A = this chain, B = another copy of it.
Amino acid sequence: MPRRMKQQADVAVTDGRRLRGDKSRAAILARAVNVASTEGLGGLTMGTLASDVGISKGNISILFGDKETLQLATLDAATEIFVTKVVTPALRLASPLERLRYLTDGWFDYVDSRTFPGGCLLYGTANEFRARPGRIRDRANHHRTAWIRLLTATVRDGQEAGQIRDDVDPDQLVFELTAFQSAANTAALLGDQPAFVRARRTSRECIAAAAGRPPARRKNPE
């Protein structure tokens, strides 16, 4: 075989392998995010994933290295799905207040529609690894902080645009919104749907109150 053709053939083989590798990687992660959402990232095992997806355990090792790298990739994959489903469409909206509403309601839709059977993997992992220093805790904290910063920046944009009252403390509002999400993620999966519905409604009321529009936030709606 002439050298040039041999090189082209090599490239084709490598591309083929990479393509198959990418496909396998995607298939493994698609399964891993589902398993981790119910069992936790700690519940992932390469052996079980391999048999679920129908590839060899050795190939999972080649693709991901060690278990921790697989766990990090799983958390990143879940975050990417959340970004695609909720964050990206929200960022297309010109109005900061509409963006804030979309991000907040979008999170509840994302959990309610069981994008993953165990709800939001980020809140799950932040809790699961809260007291275990290491790369997974750092990554969970990184994504958690990014979410908080995105919401806070959106509130500030809303204030600059005159859509959110100046006397609203963005950190306080976002603390409350994320606390309701934290509670809702557990409640929804524990079968406490009323608490999930209440969390969503309270979030909407908090945003409406911050925007200075009805419905005003009330402890006991009339």
Contacts and interface: CB of A to CB of B under 8 A. Distances in A.
Interface in A34-89: 37-40, 42-43
Contacts of A186: 123, 126-127, 130, 182
A80 to B, nearest CB: 21
Interface residues of A, number: 51
Give the interface SS of chain A, mostly helix, strand, loop or mixed: helix
Given A124-B127, A182-B182, A202 B220 contact: no
The listed residue with most B CB atoms (<10 A of its CB), out of A43, A117, A127, is: A127
A198 B152 CA distance: 15
A190 interface: yes
A93 B178 CA distance: 33
The listed residue with most B CB atoms (<10 A of its CB), out of A128, A137, A173, A210, is: A128
How many protomers of this protein does the assembly include? 2
A183 B179 contact: yes
A197 to B, nearest CB: 10
A121 B218 CA distance: 32
A189 interface: yes
A171 B219 CA distance: 9
Given A42-B43, A127-B128, A176 B202 contact: yes
Given A127-B127, A185-B130, A190-B144, A198 B175 contact: yes
A30 B116 CA distance: 35
23 contacts: A40-B40, A42-B42, A42-B43, A119-B131, A123-B186, A127-B186, A140-B190, A141-B191, A141-B192, A165-B219, A167-B218, A167-B219, A168-B220, A169-B221, A172-B220, A175-B183, A175-B195, A175-B199, A179-B179, A179-B199, A182-B183, A183-B183, A210-B219
